Amino acid sequence: MLWETINVVRDIPRLHEITSTLIRYGMADIVRTLGIGTLLERAGRFLHWKAQSDTLHLETPVRVRRALEELGPTFVKLGQVMATRVDVFPPNWIAEFEKLQNGVPPVPFASLLPQLEAALGCSPQEIFLDLQTEAVAAASIAQVHHAKLADGTPVILKIRRPNIRAKIEADLRILTHIARLVEFEMPEMRRYQPVQVVQQFSRSLRRELDFAAEARNIERFAGNFAGSETVVVPRVYWEWTSEVMNVQQRVDGVPGNNLAAVEAAGLDRKLLGSRGADAVLKMILIDGFYHADPHPGNVFYLPGNRIAIIDFGMVGRLTEDRRNQIVNLLAALAGRDDEAMLDVLLEWTGEAAVDEARLAADVNEFVFNYANVPLKDLHIGKLFGELTVIMRDHYLVMPSDLAMLFKALITLEGLGRQLDPDFDMVTHLTPFVRRVIAERYMPEVLFKRGMRNLHDILSIATDLPRDIAHLIKETRRGKFKIDLDLKRLDRFAHQLDHSVNRLTLGILIASLVIGSSIVMTVQGGPTLLGLPLFGLLGFMLASGGSIWLILSIWRSGRE
């Protein structure tokens, strides 16, 4: 039983809180289907199965969103991740998930002191000057305080909320078991890989809880933009940074969501949009390491039309193969190449069954609809939206690392158009795509790829004599085995069983015909209509068996 692995003493109270919330928001059927209610009642925790009447009139997406908000930071973060899964959820669900916010009231600074003193080895007032005990920002996981270093350098202290890790770890354990139950109890949900999604979400959230990991992200971004005169990444002060606190340079600029202040500062909105887009596209297509949440609240505009990016807790990583797939897709979108786009989508489907002919027709129609649209009028958000509708219609699930990427690109386009109504995302994409494609065929890249392939071939050749010797020894010992994984083996065995049964029946029918013919020639015994009774019965049984056999063969030919 999957639930036996839960530490009852530790997780049952939180599980009761979660299920009670789901029931109050009209999701009792899910609780019953998963069997959670039975588990809680066995543990002596009885549930009130009636939903609140004031929530029943709400649409299902609204009720789900409100339940996630009430359940706290883990579930709010999960909802924000689900907001990136435009390939799974329809637009009305995505719109509700996007309303989930991390904003919560800050905790008193006195509550933070014990963990700060443990991390610093002394009181924070001994290290920082002008430490403001009133938080300037607060979220579900952390809150921010302003301070200064001993030399007067302004910094921010991003401090983790006390006791937040224990609650999140309990939630992640429960989510893991719920995902397993969903796969076990709801076969139709298996294609969405809930266990894998929760595992990836757990890794991401645990990284977000480690503020030292965020500091490492900041340093990596700073290295990627070293020498840039247009992009600013805050400096990290490692002397006082730890798992529970991140100390970094304070950025004083115009907040990205204050367009009036941008105008008042005399900044060039068109140039800011262009530079912001180029910065994020460099992260994605060149570096393979990108800021996964480039919304206006994480951007500041500085004098000289420079851009400062903050909050690197949520980042995305792309392998070289995945970057190549993205480039191929973007090149296909820009070039209206439906065959290239279909190839990428089929790569993403993995082993999932798909009607390739119908998918190809839908992709062809998608490309045809944009055949004569000027590049400047193409909206990446709309294109990706229609593409994900096609994926949903074909029950294709986008790889989880791409869902976050698509969301980042859509957010980036929205930010660009906020700054410049004429912002053209495709125009900014095109030079990056061309650059990546050109780099694939540079001599040094081809040489490196060839050397890697040569190394693989030599490794195989070097290991071949040993592998053959091992194979011969195993054969001599009688331990040589071949494991065959045949698709549809059960169906094959079923068909074989039917064939053997028909063959056996055919032999029996032939035997009845021959035996009955012999009986017909024997004088004496009971008769019917002047014919030997047993011979007549044999012919009747043979006729009935023949009719059944003919019908069975005819039906199998139609399947």
| Strand ranges in 119-252 using DSSP code E only, listed in sequence order | 137-138, 142-148, 154-160, 231-232, 245-249
Residue 531's Cα: distance from chain center in Å?
77
Is 268 found in the same domain as 240? no
Burial class (CB in 10 A: 0-12, 13-18, 19+), 182: buried
- Output phi, psi for 254, to 5 deg: -85, 120
pLDDT at 6 over 50: no
Global pTM reads 0.68
96: which residues sit within 8 A by CB, 6+ positions away? 61, 62, 64, 65
Is 320 found in the same domain as 393? yes
Whether 465 is in a domain gets the answer no
Structural domains counted in the chain: 4
Q: At what angle do helices 269-281 and 425-440 cross, to 10 degrees?
A: 30
Is 213 found in the same domain as 282? no
Is 371 found in the same domain as 333? yes
Last residue of one domain, picked from the residues 101, 130, 161: 101
Distances (CA, A) of 520 to 336, 535, 540, 541: 79, 5, 13, 15
pLDDT at 175 over 80: yes
- Give the CA-trace dihedral at 291, 292, 294, 299, to 10 degrees: -40
Q: What is the pLDDT of residue 301?
A: 93
Burial class (CB in 10 A: 0-12, 13-18, 19+), 376: exposed
190: which residues sit within 8 A by CB, 6+ positions away? 183
d(C-alpha 181, C-alpha 147), whole Å: 48
Nearest to 19, CA basis, from 34, 9, 8, 2: 34
Which residues constitute the domain of residue 51? 2-101
Residue 427's Cα: distance from chain center in Å?
28
Last residue of one domain, picked from the residues 196, 221, 250: 250
Higher pLDDT, 432 or 375: 432
pLDDT at 42 over 60: no
Nearest to 411, CA basis, from 257, 529, 293: 293
d(C-alpha 12, C-alpha 27), whole Å: 19
Q: What is the DSSP letter of 236?
A: B
Whether 509 is in a domain gets the answer yes
pLDDT at 310 over 60: yes
Nearest to 23, CA basis, from 73, 63, 82, 76: 63
Whether 494 is in a domain gets the answer yes
d(C-alpha 33, C-alpha 40), whole Å: 14
Is 348 found in the same domain as 271? yes
Cβ distance 509 to 546 under 8 Å?
A: yes
- Output phi, psi for 153, to 5 deg: -65, 125
pLDDT at 424 over 90: no
Nearest to 15, CA basis, from 185, 176, 140, 204: 176
Query: 291: helix, coil or strand?
Result: strand
User: How many of the other CB atoms lie within 10 Å of CB of 468?
Assistant: 10
pLDDT at 177 over 60: yes
Cβ distance 375 to 427 under 8 Å?
A: yes
Last residue of one domain, picked from the residues 189, 222, 250: 250
Whether 144 is in a domain gets the answer yes
What confidence category does residue 483 fall into, taking pLDDT thresholds of 50, 70 and 90? low
Is 158 found in the same domain as 295? no
Is 284 found in the same domain as 161? no
- Check if 293 is active-site: yes
What confidence category does residue 436 fall into, taking pLDDT thresholds of 50, 70 and 90? confident
Higher pLDDT, 165 or 334: 165
Is 176 found in the same domain as 109? yes
- How is residue 504 written in tokens? 């056996």
What's the full length of the chain, in residues? 559
Higher pLDDT, 79 or 243: 243
pLDDT at 491 over 60: no
d(C-alpha 430, C-alpha 423), whole Å: 14
299, containing H or E segment: strand 299-302
Whether 481 is in a domain gets the answer no
What confidence category does residue 54 fall into, taking pLDDT thresholds of 50, 70 and 90? low
Torsion 325-328-331-332 (CA) sign: negative
- Output phi, psi for 302, to 5 deg: -115, 160
Which pLDDT tens digit goes with each residue over 147-160?
Answer: 999 899 999 999 99
Is 433 found in the same domain as 354? yes
What confidence category does residue 231 fall into, taking pLDDT thresholds of 50, 70 and 90? very high
Is 292 found in the same domain as 433? yes
Whether 523 is in a domain gets the answer yes
Residue with tokens 């899964």: 85
Which pLDDT tens digit goes with each residue over 349-389?
Answer: 766 677 888 888 888 888 888 777 666 667 777 777 788 78
466, containing H or E segment: helix 443-476
Catalytic annotation, pick one of 11, 293, 311, 362:
293
Range of lowest pLDDT (166-170, 179-183, 263-267, 381-385)? 381-385
Query: 501: helix, coil or strand?
Result: helix
Q: Assign residue 304 a region (left: φ > 0; alpha: ψ between -120 and 50; beta: otherwise).
A: left
pLDDT at 56 over 80: no
What confidence category does residue 554 fall into, taking pLDDT thresholds of 50, 70 and 90? low
- How is residue 155 written in tokens? 């910094």
Instruction: Determine what percent of the chain is predicted with pLDDT higher than 90.
Output: 14
Which pLDDT tens digit goes with each residue over 503-528?
Answer: 777 777 777 777 777 766 766 667 76
Q: What is the mean pLDDT of the chain?
A: 79
Higher pLDDT, 4 or 138: 138
Q: What is the pLDDT of residue 3?
A: 45
Is 530 found in the same domain as 400? no
- Output phi, psi for 342, to 5 deg: -60, -40
Instruction: Report strand pairing: 306-309 vs 531-532.
Output: unpaired
Burial pattern 518-552, b for ≥16 Cβ within 10 A else e, equals ebeeeeeeeeeeeebebbbebbeebeebbeebeee
Whether 473 is in a domain gets the answer no
Higher pLDDT, 263 or 542: 263
First and final C-alpha spacing in the chain? 39
Is 245 found in the same domain as 294? no
Range of lowest pLDDT (67-76, 388-397, 476-485)? 476-485
| Strand ranges in 167-243 using DSSP code E only, listed in sequence order | 231-232
Type of residue found at 420: D
Whether 390 is in a domain gets the answer yes
- The string of DSSP codes covering 123-134 is -GGGT-BS--SS
